Structure 1
Amino acid sequence: MLLETPRLQVRRFRPEDAPALAAYRSDPAVAFYQGWTAPVSAEAAAALVREFAAADPGRPGWFQYAIELRAEGCLVGDVGVKLHENLMQAEVGFTLARERQGQGYATEAVRAVLRDLFERRGLHRVSAECDARNLDSARLLERLGFQEEGRRPANTWMKGEWTDDVLFGLLADRWTRLAASTG
């Protein structure tokens, strides 16, 4: 399974990805809005990579795509897709190494995944949520066409505090209209 963009390969995880996964997921700034706690040990990263590599993107549940820079052949992040039981809806999430943020890689990778979900697999809806303080992630979702659908105040207990969740959604017909208007 491989999704290609001009700069990226969005692909299945491989065993050799474990050190890079451990490195970017161990960065406290990267982990701040995520459900894991930094640091992520080499052993934990290797176990995650095995779990990610064994998952089936066509079955309900989470599947993690590795984001690789084509020019450098290095892992810089991941995109998660949680396929709903009905196989017509999914949730997405993403993580990118701090030194690779702000260069459009996450937008490019998530767009490739959305294109696959909507255009090849025929999904009806994709949703996402983020910590209300995570403005960069919210802006990325909006750039891709997601619309804010609501806010759940003090909904998630994470890392010793209650956080607000912002909910986003993107329907297939909106994706199609946006894709047609951008060429």
Structure 2
Amino acid sequence: MTRPPWPPIARTRTSPVTSRWDAPFPLGAAVAFVEGLAGRDPGAEGWFQYAVERRDDGTLVGDVGVNRHDAGRQAEIGFTLAPAWQGRGYGTEAVRRIVTHLLVTDGLHRVHASLDARNARSARLLERCGFRREGLELCSCWWKGEWTDELRYAVLASEWSRSPEPA
């Protein structure tokens, strides 16, 4: 990517449509976020963010975060896509590629995700990618001044080979 990623990250994470973070997410916070990832090993335990870019012009449309844990046997994922790029398959493709890398290439046992239960689009994305819903935690997260329900999704490496391919 030749353009700095900070402005699109700040816009996406400030958007009330996509953000679970406290908005606004100022440009300085986006710069610190990206600089904090510099030099991190994507295979190490802890969070690592992958950019989701358009192939044709390199436009940053979102990101997928991976939090490896349990001595590298499991990972949590999260994803954020700018509203203008949602519904075009970028999220599905990015999540499938990351999860395939984690479960097939790196040999992790399990990948899981949690999301605000009101986020039906993200739940459908995970289900399209072969994740199964594992549970609902009522009023379990304090986000933006309110208690929210959280959905839990996961997929095992043994299930991944049977998960549907995207259309």
Q: Same fold (TM over 0.5)?
A: yes
Give how far 1:52 is off.
Answer: 2.2
Deviation at 1:14, TM superposition (A): 8.1
Q: 1:133 aligns with which of 94, 118, 129?
A: 118
Which structure 2 residues correspond to residues 142-157 of structure 1 after superposition, within 5 A?
142-157=127-142
Q: What is the TM-score when the length of structure 2 is the normalising length? A: 0.93
6, 10, 14: which is aligned to 1:18? 6
Which residues of 2 match residues 1-183 of structure 1 at below 5 A? Answer: 16-31=4-19, 34=20, 36-178=21-163
Computed over aligned residues only, the root mean square deviation of the Cα atoms, in angstroms, reads: 1.7
Higher helix share goes to which structure?
A: 1
**C-alpha displacement of 1:15:** 7.8
C-alpha separation between the residues in 2 aligned to 1:104 and 1:15? 23
Partner-residue secondary structure (3-state), 1:29: coil
1:21 is displaced (CA, Å) by 1.0
3-state secondary structure, aligned to 2:4: helix
The unaligned stretches of length 5 or more in structure 2 are none
Aligned partners of 2:134, 2:95: CA distance in 1, in Å? 19
Offset from partner CA, 1:134-183 (integer Å, 9 cap, x none): 1111111111111111111110011111111111110001101226x78x
* Structure-1 separation of matches of 2:26 and 2:114: 27
What does the per-residue CA deviation read over 1:104-126, in whole Å, with 9 as the maximum and x for residues that have no partner? 10010011101110111001100
Point out 4+ residue stretches in structure 1 off by more than 6 angstroms. Answer: none
Q: Secondary structure at the match of 2:5?
A: helix
> Is contact 1:15-1:49 (8 Å) kept?
no
Task: Report the Cα distance in structure 1 between the residues aligned to 2:36 and 2:66, rounded to whole angstroms.
Answer: 14
